[in-house]
Amino acid sequence: MSTFNRRKFLGTAAAAAGSAAILSATGTSAFAQDRRIRHFWWGNPERDKRTFEVIRLFNEKNPGIVVAGETLGSADYFTRLTTQIAGRNMADAIQMGYGVMFEYINRGAILPLDEYIGKSLDISQIDESALSAGRVDGKLYALSIGANSHVSLYNTRLFDAAGISFDPFGWTYDDLKRVAGEVTKATGVFGTDDNTADYQNFSDYVHQRGERLFDDEGNFGASAETIADYFAIWADLRAAGATPPGQVSAGLVGAELSNWGIVTGQTAISYAWSNQMVGVQNLMQDKVGAAMFPNTPEMIPGSIIQPSQFICLSRDTVDAEAATTYMSAFVNDPEMTAVLGLERGIPANAQVRAALQPKLTEIEATSVAFFDGIQGKTMNLAPPPPSGAQEIEAMFERVAVAVLLDQAPIPDVANQIRREAEGIRRRAR
Amino acid sequence: MTGMSIRSKLRRSWPGYVFLTPWLIGFFLLSIFPILASLYLAFTDYDAVNAPVWVGFENFQYMFEFDYRFWQSLKVTFLFVILSVPAKLIFALIVAMLLDKGIRAVGWYRALFYLPSILGGSIAVAILWRQLFNADGVINSALAVFGIQGPYWLSDPNYSLYTLVVLAIWQFGSPMLIFLAGLRAIPQDLYEAAEIDAATPSRKFFAITVPMLAPVIFFNLVLQMIEAFKSFSGAFIISGGTGAPLDSLLFFTVYLFNEAFSYFRMGYASALGWVLLVIIAAFTAIAFWTSKYWVHYENERG
């Protein structure tokens, strides 16, 4: 590896061929002594701006290592990653999410970090809970770059205008119906987005009903009754005129942040991951408030706190030591983490959290307050999702649209979801 | 010449082969090799990370027996081909005939009409299309002027495919240019003779233009059909990459893409690719076979 890696090969090839085309393709510094690594993440304009600034800082502080950043929207990220896996040219450091990461670990696309700990990689200040979320079979595969949870974002101006009072950490679906109805009546803006086809909300609901999304054998655990009840909650809100028409909501399944109801002003509540709060607020004039997802009257915790994203070492890394040096700085370096702020979630490094505290923007303070509020009200992190979990999520969002469009009775759709989930699990083996 | 040995032929023509080398390397590396590789992968279980595992005909068996989304994607794709290809050709022919009438600055119009075809495959246009057909987009705003409440083009499975058919028709530029060249090649004395016989315009069209243009129509038909079967980017962008709503935009290529790149089933996706190849080949063969009944070439004897 060290005697003839890809970078050296390209350098030699460029020198030998001396051709302008190859030179421009590899960059002129193929001749220099710099160790070059790539960092690939999914993002949005705000996150990209911060991450490129972090890369600039790192390059400045670490002569000899040059990091290049690559970014895509989340919709295209994983397809690009798969292409790169097949082509064996993944970036050295890649961003991963909790839901999908285990699929990549199981298949061997990600390398364990253990041999770099204490050398190029410093994990001494990282919370144990965050570390354990990135471990599989005792090996550390992933560094958490921020804690995350489900959040209901609401437009505080509209809520004030309608004179709404509710408990953001203990409200039920009945409360949601009341609140959404009052907002709609008082302001003419639809009370809430329609989450019929939202898998995150659905997954919370399944746990709130005392069921599990996947049992210990990895079988799909939501009963047809629970699925149907979930759809019924939203059908009820829809019928009451508290959500946009089903056909509008059908067009918004999986939409980018900028198309969400709360951002476009079409609705007063949208549902998100807490680390998306900064992004949403930056697209809005009105102030954003944060509440938990609603619950059933039994108040069984269904939300989770999990790493929003990880930074991982890819199988195709050309320089694991340089890559882990960069990854280490990404989660520990005070200057770099100050730039990142809370945009990817609450940092897992206690010192970093403390350093950020006095410099928080208003929306960041809201997000910290939200995290304080949900302590003790969330459930324990479920075991890593089984193979096929991603496909089941996509299937749910696809099939549930039939309910939004009124194309099939709710019990039929619920049964279909169970049947297809079982099929996907069988095929994933 | 005929008496030359292969060796002396080679000695005379080697510079030609040297100049061809870059192309040959590209051809074998970027075309032949991937084709053969995908044929092999079609019979394997391959997740892009680990080595492929030979499974024989399992991929095809699953596809035909159990995979209802495969059949759905075929249905959507066929519907798209049947709706978009004739409409696009008719539209292209109409515009070509208008341009053939010697309007001033015809070069500008040709360039202008060809533009959508150049832009057509691009992501930007697909995104633009999405904006146009949104529930509160330009199309529905225009309809609202006439008091018509437009449908939810993109989120209603009854309409979503039509937006893509319209997108396809809008990209009529390249068949139009070929039609235009074909129209220019029709001898004017045929029309003059028809004029003397007092033929009506429609009679002239069906008795002279269409038969004389038949080889060009055939060429355009085959080309556009293949193009339509392979159509991808419009459906991919407008459906957010998933074929939504309710798989109404699940083009064959979109399904293939998802299997390959979202669910790590490269082997299965390769099998899908080969099925598409066979389908396109079969339809092209049918077109060629029927062509002998309606396509006649001027230099043909008989």
List, for residues B198-251, the tens digit of each pLDDT value.
889 899 999 999 999 999 999 999 999 999 999 998 899 888 888 888 999 999
Looking at the DSSP bridge assignments, the partners of residue A159 are none
What pLDDT does A11 receive?
A: 45
List the end-to-end C-alpha distance of chain A, in Å, as a whole number: 34
DSSP B134-181: STTSHHHHHHHHTT-----TTT-TTTHHHHHHHHHHHT-HHHHHHHHH
Structure tokens at B44: 């394997």
**Closest partner residue to B245 among A75, A250, A315, by Cβ?**
A250
List all residues 6 or more positions away from B210 whose beta carbon is below 8 Å from its beta carbon: B217
What is the nearest CA distance from A404 to chain B, expressed in angstroms? 10
Q: How many CB atoms lie within 10 A of CB B218?
A: 17
Q: A65 near A33, Cβ under 8 Å?
A: no
Whether residue A75 and residue B257 make contact (CB cut-off 8 A), yes or no, is: no
Instruction: Note whether A398 contacts B: Cβ–Cβ < 8 A.
Output: yes
What pLDDT is recorded for position B121? 64
CA atoms of A194 and A250, how far apart (whole Å): 9
Which of B87, B81, B89, B82 has its CA nearest to residue B210? B89
Under an 8 A CB cutoff, do A82 and B48 touch? yes
Give the tokens for residue B190.
């045929």
What are residue A289's DSSP bridge partners? A154
Residue A326 CA neighbour count, 13 Å, CB half: 35
Could you tell me if A5 and A37 are in contact, meaning their C-beta atoms sit under 8 angstroms apart?
A: no
CB contact under 8 A, A251 and B260: no
Enumerate domains of chain A plus CATH numbers: 3-146+308-368 (3.40.190.10), 149-305+376-428 (3.40.190.10)
Q: How far apart are CA A312 and CA A94, in angstroms?
A: 5
**Which residues are CB-neighbours of A196 under 8 A, at least 6 positions away?**
A231, A234, A235, A238, A246, A249, A400, A403, A404
Answer whether B247 sits within 8 Å of A79, measured CB to CB: no
C-beta atoms of A398 and B50 within 8 A: no
Compute CA distances A362 → A79, A357, B180, whole Å: 35, 11, 63
CB pairs under 8 A between A and B: 79
CB B61 within 8 A of CB B45: no
Bridge partner list, A67: A37
- Round the average pLDDT of chain B to a whole number and report it: 89
Look up residue A382 and give its two tokens.
Answer: 């479920």
Mapped onto helix, strand or coil, the DSSP state of residue A191 is: coil
Q: Closest residue of B to A86, CA-based?
A: B48
Chain A CB contacts of B257 below 8 Å: 79
Specify the amino acid at residue A134.
G
pLDDT of residue A19: 40
Task: For residues A25 and B164, give the distance between their C-alpha atoms in angstroms, rounded to a whole number.
Answer: 36
The half-sphere exposure of B103 on its side-chain side, counting CA atoms within 13 A, is 12
C-beta atoms of B263 and A109 within 8 A:
no
Q: In sequence order, which ranges of A261-388 are alpha helices (DSSP H)? A: 261-264, 277-282, 320-332, 334-340, 350-356, 362-374
Tell me the pLDDT band of B301, cut-offs 50, 70 and 90. Answer: low
The pair of structure tokens assigned to B189 is: 């004395």
Dihedral sign from CA coordinates of A145, A147, A151, A157 = negative
Model confidence pLDDT, tens digit, residues B90-118 = 999 999 998 887 667 777 877 887 787 77
At A303 the pLDDT is 92
What pLDDT is attached to residue B300?
Answer: 59
Task: Give phi and psi for A424, each to the nearest 5.
Answer: -65, -40
The model carries a pTM of 0.84
Mean pLDDT, range B160-184, rounded to an integer: 91
Give the pLDDT of residue A200: 95
**CA nearest to A104 within chain B:** B49
- Tell me the pLDDT tens digit for each residue of B115-168: 877 776 677 788 888 888 887 788 888 998 998 888 888 888 999 999 999 989
d(CA B113, CA A207): 57
Mutate to test the interface with A, among B130, B149, B246 (most CBs of A within 10 A): B246
Contact criterion met (CB < 8 Å) for A78 and B246:
no
Length of chain B: 302
Rounded to 5 degrees, what are φ and ψ at A140?
A: -90, 120
| Contacts of the segment B195-202: beta carbons below 8 A, 24+ positions apart | none
Cα–chain-centroid distance for residue B189?
Answer: 35
Nearest in space to A273 (alpha carbons), one of A366, A167, A200, A192: A200
Beta bridge partners of residue A96, listed in sequence order:
A310
Q: Compute the CA torsion angle B17, B20, B25, B27 (nearest 10 deg).
A: -120
ipTM above 0.90, yes or no: no
Which residue numbers in chain A have pLDDT < 50? Answer: 1-31
